[in-house]
Each structure stands twice: as structure tokens, then as C-alpha cells.
Amino acid sequence: MRIMVSADMEGATGVTWTDDVVPGTEPWQRFRRLFTGDVNAVLAGLFEAGASDVLVNEAHSSQRNLLLEELDPRARMLTGRHKPLSMMQGIDSGVDGVVFLGYHAGAGFDGVLSHTYLENQITGVWLDDVPASEGRLNAALAAEYGVPVLLVSGDDQACEDARDYAPEAELVPVKECVSRYAAICLPPARTAELLTAAALDSCVRAGQVERLPGRHRIEVEFDASHLAQATAVIPTVEQIGTRRVGFDAPSMTEAMKAFKVVTAIAAGAVQGIYG
């Protein structure tokens, strides 16, 4: 049984505001350990369930946040940026299941540090006309490779989102959203118990399932018109509103690669405090 863990940080135990997840800050150094603790708790359950190989894909920001020296030695870790499939690199390697750890709600929705790829320039993303978080986008990519989503952890809003895109997955809310920058948090000793138990239980669903290939459409809405204009120069991307662009792709893999380009161009078009 081979499992992949896509590990994001905003939905990790105790994380509630910007400095907790921005590399180089003092709080980030503290929450790197809590983040690594969440990953190790999931790994404990996966290996107890009989996993023979687990690849942890670092999926947050610089993608250099987890502490390798503190990681469960039975696991492997993919770290660093510029991976072709980004948060989901490794999903095409024949794994039997994927865990979404530390996930968060999407742009335009309530949730601790809610966003989709860009921290605040994107106000909404739609996949085939359905509002889409990173979790929904990544679940669609997993489905293309016949990989079931086994477990999703994050705040209660992230877990509620996952009920729709991964209805059979185990859900572990490690905190309850009060606002974008506040939450009622469970201590790490408690979240570790919950994560390990859920990971253990989730493995009964591990195993390749029917692949769901097909065309997809993604639309992205920004908080400023110039970002739509900047991204509309990308071949296949069309400006369909003052602040909105859309594009079609022959597969979810190609859709996510195009989405990466859109977000990269948009990020590069942001100018100081005016956005």
C-alpha cells in the first residue's frame, strides 16, 4: 500500500494568522514543529494500517517548511518548489490513496486563512461552474489518476468543504474557525490522537479506483481588473469579465498546469500596496 500526503500549512494545528505560515518569522519557526507533528501523527496511522511507502509532498508556500530531521524515518519527503503538479506532485506515480493535510477553505469563503493559491488577489475559483478550493481542484486531479482521497484535515470550514468533494474521506477538524485570523484550537496532543486514528481508519479505502479523465474548465476572479488583463495574454486564457478569466483544458492535469501559469502571472503583476 503506497500513500501520498499533500501537506499544506494553513490548516495545521494552532495556525491562525499570517506570521504563523510566512517563512522567516519567529511564529513560523514555532509552527513548523506543530506542522511536522501533524504529519507525523498521520504517518503513524498510515504505517500502523500497513502502508509500505508514504511520500509526503510539502505543499505550502516555499514548500520548505517541514522539518526533515524530525520526520518519521519510515517516510520520504518531497520538498522544494517548481514541481510540475505542485501540491499534487507524485499523484501520477501509482499511489493507492492521498491525504490532504492542513488544508483550508477556498477564496471567497469563511475559514482560517482561506484562499486559493494566492493569498489575497484571487476572490474566487470555479471548476466546471462549481466554486473550487485547493482541495476540490486537487481531488479532481487525484480522480483523473484513480486515486481516492482518504483523509482531509484543517479547520471546520475546510472539512465542511471536503464533505462535498470527498464525501467518503475521513475528516479531522483540528480547529474551529472564529474569523479569518482566529480559531478555537485543540492542543497538539489531542489533534495527534485524532489524526492518527483517522489515518488508520482511512486506509480501508486505499486502492486504485476507476479513473475519471475528461475536459475541464476553470474560471478565476481577481480583486483588480489589471490582474485579469495580465493573465488574459496567456494562450487559451480569455478575459470573460472585468476581473475574471476562464480557460478550457483537455484534462485536469493540463487544467492545473494552466492554472499554475495564471496564478504565477497574476502574482507577478501585483505592484506594492495597491495590488
Q: What is the pLDDT of residues 145-180, one digit of tens each?
A: 999 999 999 999 999 999 999 999 999 999 999 999
In terms of C-beta density within 10 A (0-12 exposed, 13-18 middle, 19 or more buried), how is residue 11 classed?
buried
Q: Is 210 annotated as a binding residue?
A: no
- Locate 170 and state its grid cell: 475521513
Q: Is 82 annotated as a binding residue?
A: no
- Identify the band that residue 133 occupies on the pLDDT scale cut at 50, 70 and 90: very high
Point out the catalytic residue in the list 82, 115, 216, 226: 115
For 270, the 3-state DSSP assignment is: coil
Q: Is 53 annotated as a binding residue?
A: no
**Residue 233: count of CB within 10 angstroms of its CB:** 9
Q: Is 219 annotated as a binding residue?
A: no
pLDDT over 90 (residue 90): yes
- Identify the band that residue 107 occupies on the pLDDT scale cut at 50, 70 and 90: very high
Q: Is 82 a catalytic residue?
A: no
Across the range 36-63, mean pLDDT stands at: 97
pLDDT of amino acid 13: 98
Q: Name which of 132, 123, 209, 195 is nearest 164 in CA terms.
A: 132
Buried b (16+ CB within 10 A) or exposed e, 128-138: eeebbbbbbbb
Any bridge partners for residue 172, and if so which? 153
pLDDT over 90 (residue 273): no
Query: Can you tell me the distance from the alpha carbon of 205 to that of 51, in angstroms, rounded to the nearest whole number?
Result: 12
